Amino acid sequence: MPQDCIFCKIYHRQVPSTILYDDGQAFVIRDIHPRAPVHLLIIPTRHFTYLTYLTESFEPMVGHLFTVAEEMAKREGLGATGYRIVVNQGSNSGQEVPHLHLHLLGGKRLGPLG
């Protein structure tokens, strides 16, 4: 665990946060700066920085994040109306925390990307 990773600190209970879901492989928290009425972060418990370093051994972990996102969308009541999953990758995308994570956004009609 990198000493300065906020997500690792949250998972290891070194920084307070409400963890909505935790199965030992991934955990979910609410974004502190939400861009939609529902804005969750789905985060692998294993520190992984960038998709650039993705190897075949990480594919099950990345797939699991999407399974958790679907479960959380159902829990948040987004299944019928829809939602967006976003991965920001690198500084030009707006990635603020260098630990791979998915953004699950919904609860209102979302505008176009760009």
Which residues are catalytic, by number? 101
Answer for the pair 39, 29: CB distance below 8 angstroms, yes or no.
no
